[in-house]
Amino acid sequence: MFRSIQDLVEKTLAMVADHPFSCGFLVGLIAAFAILVFLLLLCVVFRPRRLRCLVIPSEGGELRISAKAVQDSIRMLAANFPAFDVRRIGMYGKPTEVNICIEMDFNGGDEPVSALAAQFRAAVARLATETFGMEQPAQIQLEILRSRAEVPVVSAGAESEDSASGAPLVETSDSGSGQSC
């Protein structure tokens, strides 16, 4: 087709001279594709890595604890918190700098979810430092996926205050007549 590289260059330059808009459009598409490939490469290189084990350095070497052992321990600890139903536990980061992500459902309880979550996070941190011997505490992220807590419904007559306590009355409805999202 082309006898030499020189013929290819001459034909390309002739095409650019004849159709400058088409070539500019083509150069723009190539640049956009190159930027997209570069961004995808950055996402792959800098994504958080799922850990298969924890590495605890010690004098005689290092201790490796599997992610499954850590996940099972956290699930046993979650049994002490009936307000939470743990769905998924993931460990990300580097083996010495751990980020534990716990996804769970909130079943309701006597305390607000923020107080219960703080207690659960503290219990997981104690588990990581005392049981597994982590020198640097892990970053613990809790994510509430669903809430099955009973939400109090305020009716029109509930705005009056209780004469004995001075607090507003709040009524709950079990009939299911409330609105849902």
Spell out the per-residue pLDDT of the chain, length 181, in tens. Answer: 557 888 888 887 787 778 777 777 878 888 999 999 999 999 888 877 888 888 887 788 888 888 899 899 999 999 999 889 899 998 888 766 788 899 998 887 788 888 888 999 999 989 888 888 887 777 889 898 888 766 666 665 555 444 444 444 443 334 344 333 2
**pLDDT score recorded for residue 111:** 84
Find out whether 47 and 75 touch, Cβ atoms under 8 Å. Answer: no
Identify residue 122 by its one-letter amino acid code. Answer: A
The token duo for 100 is 């534990």
Taking the domains of the chain in order of start, what are their residue ranges?
5-45, 53-147
C-alpha–C-alpha distance, residues 133 and 58, integer Å: 10
Q: In terms of Cα–Cα distance, which of 56, 77, 69, 80 is closest to 129?
A: 56
> Going by CATH, does the domain composed of 53-147 fall within 3.30.930.10?
no
